């Protein structure tokens, strides 16, 4: 299935293809504050529809995840990094997807604070 998503103002827009089996709610210092529900997909399943430079980047801690956000409205629609095997991944905030029933998506609690 193909989904479209964006930040609140639309300056950062994307599409992503795949089946949402679950979302991850992480309790690390940034994810807890953002309230994101993350769906991890291979990076080649994710495509920006707006210019790359419209998404600002925030790095912290070990600098392994690029937390991407809109500098205009402040929404964090996705992040980029690699999985433990070195594969490029996108972490899509499913709260930013259009026409999705958030209550129908199982949520896995991840203890990122202890990592």
Mean pLDDT of 95-115: 93
Q: pLDDT tens, 45-94?
A: 999 999 999 999 999 877 788 999 999 999 999 999 999 999 999 999 99
Mean pLDDT of 10-33: 95
Domain boundaries defined on the chain: 2-114
Sequence-ordered alpha helix ranges (H) in 1-115: 29-34
Cα angle 15-19-25, degrees, rounded to a multiple of 5: 85
Euclidean distance between the first and final Cα of the chain, in Å? 32
Which pLDDT score, from 0 to 100, does residue 37 have?
97
Which pLDDT score, from 0 to 100, does residue 81 have?
95
pTM comes to: 0.94
Residue from 58, 64, 88, 68 nearest 5 by CA: 68
Q: pLDDT tens, 27-48?
A: 988 899 999 999 999 999 999 9
3-state secondary structure at position 21: coil
CATH entry 2.40.420.20 includes domain 2-114: no
Residue by residue, DSSP assigns 64-91 as -SEEEEETTT----EEEEE-TTS-EEEE
Give the separation between CA 22 and CA 51, rounded to whole angstroms. Answer: 28
Instruction: Answer for the pair 76, 92: CB distance below 8 angstroms, yes or no.
Output: no
Which pLDDT score, from 0 to 100, does residue 113 have?
85
């Amino acid at each position: 299935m193909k989904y479209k998503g964006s930040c609140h103002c639309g300056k950062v827009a994307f599409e992503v293809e795949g089946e949402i089996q679950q979302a991850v709610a992480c309790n690390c210092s940034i994810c807890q504050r953002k309230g994101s529900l993350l769906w991890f997909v291979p990076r080649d399943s994710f495509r920006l529809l707006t210019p790359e430079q419209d998404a600002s980047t925030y790095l912290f801690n070990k600098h392994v995840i690029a937390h991407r956000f809109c500098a205009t409205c402040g929404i964090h629609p996705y992040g980029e990094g690699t999985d433990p095997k070195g594969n490029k991944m996108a972490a899509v905030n499913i709260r930013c997807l259009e026409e999705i029933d958030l209550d129908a998506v199982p949520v896995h609690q991840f203890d990122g604070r202890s990592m």
